[in-house]
Amino acid sequence: MVTQKKRGTNFEYRVAYLFEEFGFDWDRAGSSLGIDLKIFGKGRVSYLVSCKKTSRMVPIYVRRDEVRMLEGKAREMNAEALVCFGFRRTPAMVLTLNELKRLPRTKLYYRIDPGRGRPLREFLEEVAG
């Protein structure tokens, strides 16, 4: 049986390899600091990515303080912040922070429901032009 931690790590690699497929380099943080991947394009950090994965078709909750930290680090590095996520057997999906901030929220969390976002591959095809 795959543990939640292993499932999350596998998902991070899946996301990283998809960026790689589109010509980006990446570095995996390997810790629970809110930034799971740094994505490099043209020699600089282009994206900071937080990855979320669940094996069920239930909402994913993202802490608002984690989003603030991700946003601050992205601003500091002149990069775009993304949240990549997946539900049970769905492709890797993506939301920009602006999109995430328009989702339902509580005092502590943003809620990503199944069906939100767009496939990461589609996003990458668009930015790769």
Domain harbouring 53, CATH code: 3.40.1350.10
Q: Which of 82, 104, 102 is nearest to 92 (CA)?
A: 82
**Full residue range of the structural domain in which residue 32 is found:** 4-128
For the segment 19-47, the average pLDDT, to the nearest whole number, is: 90
Find out whether 26 and 16 touch, Cβ atoms under 8 Å: yes
- Rounded to whole angstroms, the Cα distance separating 99 from 13 reads 23
- Rounded to whole angstroms, the Cα distance separating 78 from 48 reads 10
Burial bucket for residue 100 (CB in 10 Å: 0-12, 13-18, 19+): buried
Instruction: Report pLDDT digits (tens) over 48-79.
Output: 999 999 989 999 999 999 999 999 999 999 99
pLDDT of residue 32: 58
Is 0.85 surpassed by the pTM of this model?
yes
2 pLDDT exceeds 90?
no
User: Structural domain tally of the chain?
Assistant: 1
What is the Cα 128 distance to its own chain's centre?
18
